[in-house]
Copies of this chain bind each other. A is one copy, B any other.
Amino acid sequence: MTQKSDLLYELAWLSRPLHQEIEAAVSAMLAETTVTVRMRSVLEQLSKLGPSTVPQIAKALDIKRQYVQIMMNEVEAVGMVERSENPAHKRSTLFHLSESGAAIIRQIRDAEGKIIESFGRNLTLDEVERAHHVMEHLLTSFRTLNQRLKT
A-side residues, CB < 8 A to B, are: 1-5, 7-22, 24-25, 28-29, 62, 112-113, 115-120, 122-125, 127-139, 141-143, 145-146, 149-150
Contact = CB atoms under 8 A, between A and B. Distances in A.
What are the nearest 10 A-B pairs in CB distance?
Answer: A131-B134, A21-B142, A28-B149, A119-B141, A15-B18, A15-B19, A131-B131, A5-B117, A19-B19, A4-B125
A22 B139 CA distance: 9
Contact of A18 (B8, B21, B115, B138): B138
A130 B132 contact: no
Contact of A146 (B25, B119, B125): B25
From DSSP, what is the main secondary structure of chain A's interface residues?
helix
Given A18-B135, A25-B145, A9 B116 contact: yes
B138 A135 contact: no
Given A117-B5, A139-B21, A127 B130 contact: yes
Contacts of A149: 24-25, 28-29
A142 B22 contact: yes
Given A5-B113, A122-B137, A62 B20 contact: yes
Given A4-B120, A113-B5, A120-B5, A131 B25 contact: no
